[in-house]
Amino acid sequence: MSFLATTFAMGLAALLPFYLGEIANGCLIVSTTDSWLAISYVCVFPSLIAYLFFNRGVELLGSAPTALYLNIMPVIGAVLAYVLLAEPIRGFHFLGMGLIGVGILCASNEARDRIMRILA
């Protein structure tokens, strides 16, 4: 949990000067129920829970296998944009998803061993 706290503290330190600059220029965010709900959602789900799951994955699998699956985030983002926002998925999306899948497959231990046996 200390790594997570350090990550959040560094993010706060990086964003605080911009926030203070906005306040100094008189640009205040209007506080509504909808804005607080949106901020709460972003704080809980994509930030806190995602980091906790990722850190748990590092504990269980180790850093290398876990880092391999970081590349899936754009795929998940594209699929969620399609499902939730009705964004179109174009050919370059499928190409990128395919390249990510092939990259993960090639970098995984079992697939790498299989490829090395074929090439040997």
Q: Render pLDDT for 24-79 as a digit per residue (tens, 0 to 9).
A: 998 877 789 988 888 888 877 777 788 888 888 888 888 877 888 888 888 988 99
- Residues above pLDDT 70, as percent of the chain: 96
- Cα–Cα distance for residue pair 10/16, rounded to 1 Å: 10
Task: Judge if 50 and 87 occupy the same domain.
Answer: no
Task: Judge if 41 and 90 occupy the same domain.
Answer: no
pLDDT of amino acid 16: 94
Final residue of a structural domain among 41, 61, 81: 61
Residue 120 scores a pLDDT above 80: no
Task: Judge if 44 and 4 occupy the same domain.
Answer: yes
Final residue of a structural domain among 15, 36, 61: 61
- Cα–Cα distance for residue pair 54/37, rounded to 1 Å: 24
Give the C-alpha distances (Å, rounded to integers) separating 84 from 28, 38, 53. Answer: 30, 16, 22
**Number of folded domains in the chain?**
2
pLDDT of amino acid 100: 93
Task: Judge if 69 and 14 occupy the same domain.
Answer: no
Task: Judge if 10 and 48 occupy the same domain.
Answer: yes
Mean pLDDT, the chain, whole residue set: 85
